[in-house]
Chains A and B, each alone.
Chain A
Amino acid sequence: MAHFEKAKNLNEWLDQRLAVNTLKKVMQTEYWIPKDINFLWAMGMVLAATFGMLLVSGIFLLMYYKPDTNLAFDSVNYTIMSEVGYGWLWRHIHGVGASLVFLIIYIHMFTGIYYGSYKKGRELIWLSGMGLFVAFSAEAFSGYMLPWGQMSYWAGMVITNLFSGGSLEAYGLVEWIRGDYVPADAFLTRFFMLHVLLLPLAIIGLIVLHFGTLRIPHVNNQEGEEFDYAESAELYKAGKVKESKVIPFSPVFLSKDVFVMGVYFLLFFYLVFYHFEFAMDPVNFDPADGLKTPAHIYPEWYFLWSYEILRPFSKDLGLIAFAIAQVIFFMLPFLDRSPNVAPASRRGLFKYWFWAMLIDVIVLTFMGKLPPTDALFATIGLISAVLFFVLWIALPFITKSEKKL
């Protein structure tokens, strides 16, 4: 057995057994973050905090929610909303949090795209981040089923039907996913399991991986500058804080994060208390009815852009377009052929690519919300959907011709 001295205090006692001082150094005081960053670099910790809010509010909702098609609707809309003390608070935090987590994910993604934070050694950061996006999407969808209202039911119907693969007519697969011919009890209970156990586990695992992938390539900075971290770290530790290009994660970087989080949570709780209805579709306050389709089925705002890519095409083509749109962002580090790690503003044509992509996704989002019957909006939707693919096809060519900085 290892030799132990009598410890002078609790910290030393823990350090002997768990190496807490080393751990603190590695994870906090000597985990170096570049200094040349802005508030957009705080989005990662804002996301972590939002996930925390979702987890805590979810635990309280879980105490009264009943995963049964006969009981689910009332357990949410009656028991939790009007009987449980502050039950409404957990539900509003959970609904608003689920919506805002996607807003921040999109900001986080487009920040990464703008500053080239997916390139040269940072590919795994991007890929694990995209993995998180997919896991969060599945988590949001499975959670949307649980109140078992009209939108839950019909979103479940439409999304599971996508797995029939259009002309492949794989209805066996669809029925297998549902555990029934239509979304029913087996469907609700298995999506409940996914929502409260399997997917959160996957998300937590992916968050750990995402942090891990940051460690060796380091966080990118505003100019995409490559510098010697060890040298800068020595300067910082020697007290030459001004000359050093880095700051420690904790407490320096984290204090900036906490400030941004403070501003963010003002918005968060403003929505929770005064505008929660934006995250609560009125149609979903009708109980699920398999014999009555709502007049217009649309997903939550964060899925609208990819939904709009599905819509304007024929069934098979729409499905293929939709499937590609879901995974094409994974390919970004490999389709960008330029060696430059720099903000988009300094990268020639890529600057226009970035803004065109951002605006296109926003336009798709707006068109996805509008009913399908208006010819003008249908045309704008079609053009935006085609533009989405044109941009991705153009990406390798415009980045290949980019001048090396």
Chain B
Amino acid sequence: MGKDVKGRRDFIGMALGGFTAIVGGIPALYAMKRSWDPLPSVKAAGFTTVDLSGAQENVLNVEKWRGKPIFVLKKSKDMKTDPRDVIVGKDHFHVSIGLCTHLGCIPAYIPNDHKFKCACHGGEFDASGHQIFGPPPSPLEIPPFKVDGTKLVLGEAGPEYKKMLDDGLTV
């Protein structure tokens, strides 16, 4: 085989390889990535409505939203208010995703101390969700919410939630 025949064959080989990689390989990778995405039905099931009218003070309610536990805690008069509170009527509520911001365990609420304690790595949060001890790097996250009368719609971003986001009170 002559030198430039080999050169031409190499060129054709590489051109074919490059072409196949671009028009076949990249779209195939994209299709594979999309197949791993959460399904539309999973995404559509992402709204939960919680009625707050029956809540009792200093008793933690755990709701479920997108498979995650949601802490809803009606604050009593002696508990500190916080810019992160959700205000419904005159009542202050602490609402957060009940997963420790360290590695995602569920902290337990200790009503006498007004704090959350995570059993996995010993992290603690106060009743407004601020981290006060241990490895958690940030406060408990607040889920997107909208206040609707005495009801709370989780998954929909209302004006109060957007304001918290803008003020950097949650991520």
A175 contacts the other chain (CB 8 A):
yes
In the complex with contacts A179-B39, A296-B119, A161-B64 CB distance below 8 A: no
Closest to A158 in B: B103
Contact B122 A181 (CB under 8 A): no
Alpha-carbon distance A19/B127, docked complex (angstroms): 76
The residue among B39, B42, B104, B105 with the most chain A CB atoms within 10 A of its own CB is B104
Task: Check B102 against A315 for contact (C-beta < 8 Å).
Answer: yes
- Give per-residue flags for B26-47: 1 if the beta carbon is below 8 A from chain A beta carbons, else 0: 0000000100111100100010
Contact, CB under 8 Å: B121 / A167: no
Chain A residue with Cβ nearest B69: A291
- Report chain B residues within 8 Å CB of A290: 64, 67-69
Q: Mark A173-209, 1 if CB is under 8 A from B, else 0.
A: 0011111111010100010000000000000000000
Residues in A136-186 with C-beta less than 8 Å from chain B: 154, 157-158, 161-162, 166-167, 169, 175-182, 184, 186
Which B residues from 30 to 75 make CB contacts under 8 A with A? 33, 36-39, 42, 46, 62, 64, 66-69
B14 within 8 A of A: no
With A181-B46, A296-B119 known to touch, is A291 a contact of B64 (CB < 8 Å)? Answer: yes
Residue B144 CB within 8 A of the other chain: no
Tell me how many residues of A have a C-beta within 8 Å of chain B. Answer: 35
Select A315's contact among B33, B105, B122, B137, beta carbons within 8 Å: B137
Task: From the candidates B36, B105, B120, name the one contacting A179 in the complex (CB within 8 A).
Answer: B36
B135-A318 in contact (CB<8A): yes
- Check if B106 is an interface residue, CB within 8 A of chain A: yes
A9 at the binding interface (Cβ < 8 Å): no
* C-alpha gap A178/B105 in the complex (Å): 16
Let me know if B136 is at the binding interface, CB within 8 A.
Answer: yes
Q: Does B171 contact A (CB under 8 A)?
A: yes
**B106/A291 in contact, CB under 8 A:** yes
Does A91 count as interface, using CB distance less than 8 angstroms?
A: no
- How far does the alpha carbon of A235 sit from the alpha carbon of B67 in the complex, in Å? 70
Q: Quick one: which of B103-138 are within 8 Å of A by CB?
A: 103-106, 119-122, 135-137
Kindly identify, within residues 360 to 387 of chain A, every residue whose CB is under 8 Å from any CB belonging to chain B.
372-373
Chain A residue numbers with a CB within 8 Å of B68 are: 181-182, 290
Chain B: interface size category: 20 to 34
User: Is the beta-carbon distance between B119 and A293 smaller than 8 angstroms?
Assistant: yes
Q: Tell me whether A14 is interfacial, beta carbon within 8 Å.
A: no
CB distance from A321 to the nearest CB of B (A): 13
Query: Which A residues are CB-close (under 8 A) to B38?
Result: 175-176, 178-181, 186
> What residues of chain A lie closer than 8 Å to B137, measured between beta carbons?
166-167, 314-316
* A interface majority secondary structure: loop
CA separation between A297 and B36, bound complex, in Å?
A: 27
Inter-subunit contact B42/A182 (CB<8 Å): no
Find out whether the CB atom of B67 lies under 8 angstroms from the CB atom of A315. Answer: no
Cβ of B42: which chain A residues have Cβ within 8 Å of it? Answer: 179-181, 184, 186
- B121, chain A: closest CB distance, angstroms: 5
A390 touches B (CB below 8 Å): no
Separation of A64 and B102 alpha carbons in the complex (Å):
37
Q: Which residues of A contact B104 (CB under 8 A)?
A: 157-158, 161
What is the chain A residue whose CB lies nearest that of B122?
A: A372
A314 to B133, CA, bound (A): 11
Does A186 contact B39, Cβ atoms closer than 8 Å? yes
CB-defined A-B contacts under 8 Å, sample of 24: A154-B105, A157-B104, A158-B104, A161-B103, A169-B171, A176-B36, A178-B38, A179-B38, A179-B42, A180-B67, A181-B66, A182-B68, A186-B39, A186-B42, A190-B36, A290-B64, A291-B106, A293-B119, A294-B119, A295-B119, A297-B120, A314-B137, A315-B102, A372-B121
Additional A-B contacts beyond A176-B37, A181-B38, A296-B119 (18; CB < 8 A): A158-B103, A161-B103, A162-B103, A167-B137, A176-B36, A179-B36, A179-B39, A180-B42, A181-B46, A182-B67, A186-B38, A186-B39, A190-B36, A290-B64, A293-B120, A296-B120, A311-B121, A315-B102
Residues of B within 8 A of A (CB): 33, 36-39, 42, 46, 62, 64, 66-69, 102-106, 119-122, 135-137, 171
- 3 smallest CB-CB distances across A and B, nearest first, come from A182-B67, A181-B66, A293-B106
